[in-house]
Amino acid sequence: MDKAQKNVALLSACQGLLLTNNSILIATHALAGYALAADKALATLPLTAYIIGAALTTMPASLLMRRLGRRTGFTLGAAFGIAGALICAWAAFAHHFWLLCAGALVLGVYNATGQYYRFAAADSASADFKSKAISLVLAGGIVGGILGPETSKISKDFFVQAAFAGSYLSLGVFCLLAIGLILLIDIPPLTVAERKESGRPLTAIARQPAFLVAVLSAVVGYGVMNLLMTATPLAMVACQHPFSDAAFVIQWHVIAMFAPSFFTGTLIKRFGVVNVMLTGVALNLGCIAVALAGLEVAHFWGAMVLVGVGWNFMFIGGTTLLTECHTPSERGKVQGANDLAIFLTMIATSLSSGLLFTLQGWELMNQLAVPFLLLTGIAMLWLAAVQRRPRLSRNPLK
């Protein structure tokens, strides 16, 4: 196993641990918030604080890694994860809602740094292996989708006097395991010359067609997925489907998000990144068509599977394309700006999903996503035309 393959294996395991923590938090934060909040309307605030914590630190984390290296940045992020987990557990014992929110905010730092695992895999990968490296790292998320919910079930009532304290302490254990893996990663830091070189201004980089489409693909893919995923349990309960069916649909959604990662990189290499991203847009439109076709469990299941695979193609495609838009010295600000846009979109869609469902309903929510997907598809076709133009000018017969 060469160095790049070893790094991918380690980073994939770290991704699995990160997604395990995310799954535990999704399963417990709202319930813990509901139990501790005096105003039950604030029950989801800890989960929102987790996303806000990530959004606030994603750019500083990227710039820190540019200066100190990936391994140091990932280790510090996991250390924040341990601190946040201990604060949340303390809040559970103390029955203190705002302390729980503070702990969630600190945990968000770990989430922010962990989002760069996919970029770290590309740092030491060859051009031919880059898309596959990114894809395989994200494939580690399958472990989190399975291990996280099971861990939350086992640990929820570990301490009788403090519900969910055991779940939060388990987060710290997973962060500690992540540090052990991170210390084995061998990714060379930027050279002194690369750290001194500031590169082009972000405004100049952002004018590249490939950059615009890369960010748009990731942002819209995440936005549509998060908007519909968050509202799906609400819609299913409103349709009188039992909670067990909603949990089944979400579990398959998570599997659909990460299982394709085993072959997405190969598809990108064979058919091209733009074609894979366009397929992701088509799958998302297919999700909406299925969701609007009926309200049975099969419709929700089919829609969530399609949007999961669509997210995978758009997100991995966008990540791969983004790595082609910057030099090593520019990657800190470029990757930071990209992930900041994603986290801001997650905050907006998380906050608006419940409100849109309550005021407008499931059908209109799905219809509202269509213009964004069509705009993204048009942008991808425009990029394909731009990329073909030099070839056509050299040989008008092709």
Are residues 150 and 220 located together in one domain of the fold?
Answer: no
Question: What pLDDT does 398 receive?
Answer: 39
Are residues 325 and 214 located together in one domain of the fold?
Answer: yes
The mean pLDDT value of the chain amounts to 88
The closest of 90, 248, 113 to 179, measured between CA atoms, is 113
Which of 189, 215, 248 is the last residue before a domain boundary? 189
pLDDT band at 301 (very low <50, low <70, confident <90, very high): very high
Map tokens 């490296």 to a residue: 133
- DSSP state, 188? P
The answer to whether residue 396 sits within a structural domain is no
CB 211 within 8 A of CB 325: yes
% pLDDT > 70, the chain? 94
Distances (CA, A) of 65 to 58, 73, 127, 264: 11, 5, 22, 27
Between CA 175 and CA 179 the distance in angstroms is: 6
Which of 135, 162, 189 is the last residue before a domain boundary? 189
Are residues 320 and 184 located together in one domain of the fold?
Answer: no
The answer to whether residue 270 sits within a structural domain is yes
**Residue 324 pLDDT > 50, yes or no?**
yes
Are residues 72 and 124 located together in one domain of the fold?
Answer: yes
Are residues 127 and 258 located together in one domain of the fold?
Answer: no
- Domain that residue 327 falls in: 202-387
The answer to whether residue 119 sits within a structural domain is yes
Q: Tens digit of pLDDT for each residue in 360-381?
A: 788 988 999 999 999 999 999 9
Are residues 103 and 5 located together in one domain of the fold?
Answer: yes
Q: How many residues does the chain have?
A: 398
Are residues 358 and 214 located together in one domain of the fold?
Answer: yes
Are residues 238 and 90 located together in one domain of the fold?
Answer: no
Question: What pLDDT does 390 receive?
Answer: 61
Which of 158, 189, 220 is the last residue before a domain boundary? 189
- Per residue, the 3-state secondary structure of 340-358, as one string, reads HHHHHHHHHHHHHHHHHHH
pLDDT mean over 296-324: 95
Q: How many domains does the chain have?
A: 2
pTM value is: 0.81
Are residues 102 and 239 located together in one domain of the fold?
Answer: no
Question: What pLDDT does 391 receive?
Answer: 53
The answer to whether residue 21 sits within a structural domain is yes
Are residues 212 and 87 located together in one domain of the fold?
Answer: no
Question: What pLDDT does 392 receive?
Answer: 45
Most confident of 60-64, 73-77, 145-149, 337-341: 73-77
The answer to whether residue 398 sits within a structural domain is no
Amino acid at 347: I
- DSSP state, 190? P
Q: Tens digit of pLDDT for each residue in 15-72?
A: 999 988 888 887 677 678 778 888 876 777 888 889 899 999 999 999 899 888 899 9
CATH number of the CATH domain containing 321: 1.20.1250.20
Are residues 67 and 211 located together in one domain of the fold?
Answer: no
pLDDT mean over 144-167: 81
The answer to whether residue 195 sits within a structural domain is no
pLDDT mean over 102-111: 95
Are residues 152 and 235 located together in one domain of the fold?
Answer: no
Question: What pLDDT does 378 receive?
Answer: 97
- Per residue, the 3-state secondary structure of 212-277, as one string, reads HHHHHHHHHHHHHHHHHHHHHHHHHHHCCCCHHHHHHHHHHHHHHHHCCHHHHHHHHHHHCHHHHH
Between CA 200 and CA 208 the distance in angstroms is: 12
